[in-house]
Amino acid sequence: MTTQRATTAPSVQIDGTSGTVLLRTAHSAYVLRVDRAAGTVRHVHWGAPLPLADAVALPVWADHDNSFAGRWDGVEEYPVDGGARFGTPALEVRFADGSSPLEPTVEDVVPQTDDHVVVRLRDRARPLAWHLHYRVPAGGGVLERWTEFHHTGTDDDGDVLLLRYASAHWPLPQRPAWRLGSVHGGWSAEGRLERSGLPVGETVLGSRRGHTGHHANPWMTLDAGDAAEEHGEVWAVALAASGSWRLTAQRTAAGRTGVTAGEGHEGTELRLPPGGSHRTPVSLALHTPHGFGRASRTFHHHLRTHVLPHPEELRPVLYNSWEATSFQVDEENQLALARRAADLGAELFVLDDGWFRGRDDDKAGLGDWTPHPRRFPRGLRPLADEVHRLGMAFGLWVEPEMVNVDSDLYREHPDWVQHLPDRTPTELRNQLVLDFSRPEVTGWALRWLSGLVAENTVDFLKWDFNRAFTEAGAHQAGPDARRVHVEHARGLYRVLDRLRTRFPRLRIEACAGGGGRVDPGILARTDQVWTSDNTDAVDRLTIQHGFSQLYPAGVMSAWVTDSPNPLTGRVVPMRFRFHSAMAGVLGIGGDLTRWSDAELAEARGGVELYKDIRPVVQRGRQFRLLAPGEGPLTAVQYLSEDADRAVVFVWRPTTAFGPPPPPLRLRGLKQEARYQDEDTAGEWSGATLSGFGLPLPDLPTGDCASALVRLRRVTGHGRNG
């Protein structure tokens, strides 16, 4: 049987005779073949589009046959531990009798919808089935995969322990060489983009921290070493997991390469009782022949269209009080800051850490989420009411997953903390992690959060997470105690989902000491993320460049803070600070009581200007024109979906002697149309701006110079460039 859809839409097509399945995105094809005789699902093609008739005729690669080779290695869609398979397994288990090898057989191929198909496999003799899900979300270029496991036996069979349980294995075509791209870094130094050759063997990216991590992010790109920003084939794989995770790129000596993506890490075992099941997080992947920039824009489109809860909303300009008052918050100084923030044009006022009982510093109070009696003797409602009267939404900082030992909560429930019973808990930042894999803990969190939001008319939560896991395990340790590395995040998801259901107008920003929890899984439940605790406007260019590889500007929170910067000490003009932060979701975090009248006036103008360009920045297509560190300038372009408006930022962090840089060649414009500079009234055709380039605007002298160019189409309805 063959099922297919119109060629203009993403689809799944199945040829029942050959067992071939063709998945078509808007710009690529992915082909697999079910081999019932061998009990496996083999990969055929991932790349350029092709028709089903050709997909059926394509050969399947196999390694040369000898007693030392793994003939399936790199070829199977979902390799298991068992038989002559020596590569990285996507699935590895231990049965109740201590044995582990699997012997798969194919049950059936079941179309769920036109864009979703399931391949069902099971072990030939043991009580375990696994179902491979493939989905092609409409209107884009991203594939989605996940896997479901089912214990099909009875109590007599005992439990099955899942040792590795990947969402997907993504086989790649053969190329002479491969280059891997990823980001690395640390706290306040997130998003350092790096591309380097992929060696033969296994290259693993991951987090054992219980959260996504500052040091890496759950995605990677692969290319043959010849791709650039706007040309060349690129494959990309990501994982929607907010706990511990692992991506393994394996390149074999025989010339096969693939990426395995899954939650957990070595030792994070999951127990599956008889009748039990487990569903993995979704893995996302794409192929494009148009470089890293197109790969990013494809992911941006997918996240806006299929992941974010409210992608149609423009994110508000916020003011956050942390850097102005730190822990010394009280009703009086917050009211003073709120009035100044409203005068600047802020639309959301966020009261940060220090507002709750016992919180005079970071050594106490976490867990006791009622207003500080000395700092807010009337509670938070009077402040919230005044913020609303000033025309702003009211937001609060919270850290629900953490507890201080010096708190009433810990004294009452010390068993709620993640720990193994014979280990001494390690305090980091003077706090411990609550076990959100436990229903009684998430139930407590949901109750107090619901009360807090309802009683104080809270519109926005900044949800923080300020330390990694240590000694993580169930209070009553068992054979799968370390499942908390994945189940904690699932508990977090349940709280967020239920909270948002109860309060549909509530908006949430994800934060983990900055960018320590950023992934498609958390973005499905939040509206934006705090990109980094480092607000230095120059450092942020590098951080934001790495962030943009997968995530759109419309979720990237960025603040204008004081100068000298409180973290780095760098002195940066306000113009540069605004231009850096305006490239994402603009926020202000400085001490407004110390800003001069001239600074406040400049800030007021910056906020007004941002509101004008905000629809293009937050909803438009992003083009990275000049990357940080590759020359004297960094430049980013945003283009509205209809190509009627373009916004271009240019930054020069340091003064450098030499000839002037060439014009900026813009991208995506309508070639026959004419575009006018909204500030100078200069006018050019789209062809000129794309071919010759945009003449560079005059930059102020000295370090940290920047410019913003706004272009609007005034005539023409030609083709897109």
CATH of the domain at 644: 2.60.40.1180
Which of the residues 464, 519, 539, 562 is marked catalytic? 464
- Reported confidence tier of residue 721, pLDDT bands at 50, 70, 90: very low
Structure tokens at 427: 């305090």
Longest CA span, the chain: 80
Structure tokens at 703: 């370090």
Do 545 and 574 have their domain in common? Answer: yes
**pLDDT at residue number 659:** 84
Do 280 and 131 have their domain in common? Answer: yes
Do 301 and 409 have their domain in common? Answer: no
Please list the residues that pair with 434 across neighbouring strands: 417
Angle between helices 331-344 and 597-619 (to 10 degrees): 70
The number of folded domains in the chain is 3
Pick the last residue of a domain from 273, 307, 341. 307
Do 133 and 19 have their domain in common? Answer: yes
**pLDDT tens for each residue of 73-93:** 888 999 999 988 988 999 999
Distance, in Å, from the CA atom of 565 to the CA atom of 576, rounded to the nearest integer, reads: 13
- Distances in Å between the alpha carbon of 141 and those of 285, 370, 440? 9, 47, 41
Residue 720 inside a domain? The answer is no
Residue 643 inside a domain? The answer is yes
Do 124 and 190 have their domain in common? Answer: yes
Average pLDDT of the residues in 470-492? 84
Residue 587 inside a domain? The answer is yes
Structure tokens at 518: 């950023």
Residues 6+ apart with CB under 8 A from 242: 211, 212, 489, 492, 493, 517, 519, 521, 522
Residue 214 inside a domain? The answer is yes
Decide if pLDDT at 4 tops 70. Answer: no
Do 477 and 521 have their domain in common? Answer: yes
Distance, in Å, from the CA atom of 650 to the CA atom of 202, rounded to the nearest integer, reads: 39
Which of the residues 353, 480, 533, 536 is marked catalytic? 533
φ, ψ at 131 (rounded to 5°) = -115, 125
Do 369 and 481 have their domain in common? Answer: yes
Name the nearest CA neighbour of 523 among 235, 305, 208, 316.
Answer: 305
- Reported confidence tier of residue 1, pLDDT bands at 50, 70, 90: very low
* Percentage of the chain exceeding pLDDT 90: 89
Distance, in Å, from the CA atom of 244 to the CA atom of 330, rounded to the nearest integer, reads: 37
Residue 522 buriedness (CB in 10 A; 0-12 / 13-18 / 19+): buried
The amino acid that residue 336 corresponds to is A
**pLDDT tens for each residue of 429-458:** 999 999 999 999 999 999 999 999 999 999
Do 472 and 438 have their domain in common? Answer: yes
Please list the residues that pair with 720 across neighbouring strands: 670
φ, ψ at 543 (rounded to 5°) = -60, -45
Do 10 and 62 have their domain in common? Answer: yes
Instruction: State pTM to two decimals.
Output: 0.96
Name the nearest CA neighbour of 261 among 209, 185, 215, 204.
Answer: 204
Average pLDDT of the residues in 159-168? 97
Residue 674 inside a domain? The answer is yes
**pLDDT tens for each residue of 240-266:** 999 999 999 999 988 899 999 999 998
Task: Tell me the H-state helices in 308-364.
Answer: 322-325, 331-344
Domain extent, residue 426, equals 318-617
Do 282 and 340 have their domain in common? Answer: no
**Cβ(435)–Cβ(475) below 8 Å:** yes
Do 387 and 412 have their domain in common? Answer: yes
Decide if pLDDT at 273 tops 90. Answer: yes
Distance, in Å, from the CA atom of 500 to the CA atom of 506, rounded to the nearest integer, reads: 6
Pick the last residue of a domain from 601, 617, 633. 617
DSSP string, 688-719: HHHHT-BPPPP--SSSSEEEEEEEEEEE----
**Cβ(182)–Cβ(233) below 8 Å:** no
Distance, in Å, from the CA atom of 636 to the CA atom of 628, rounded to the nearest integer, reads: 10
533: annotated active-site residue: yes
CATH number, domain of 228, equals 2.70.98.60
Pick the last residue of a domain from 253, 278, 307. 307
Residue 38 inside a domain? The answer is yes
Please list the residues that pair with 394 across neighbouring strands: 349
Do 663 and 711 have their domain in common? Answer: yes
Residue 721 inside a domain? The answer is no
Residue 633 inside a domain? The answer is yes
**Cβ(52)–Cβ(12) below 8 Å:** no
- Reported confidence tier of residue 718, pLDDT bands at 50, 70, 90: very low
Name the nearest CA neighbour of 703 among 586, 536, 590.
Answer: 536
Segment holding 492, helix H or strand E: helix 484-502
User: In angstroms, what is the C-alpha Rg of the chain?
Assistant: 27
Average pLDDT of the residues in 333-359? 98
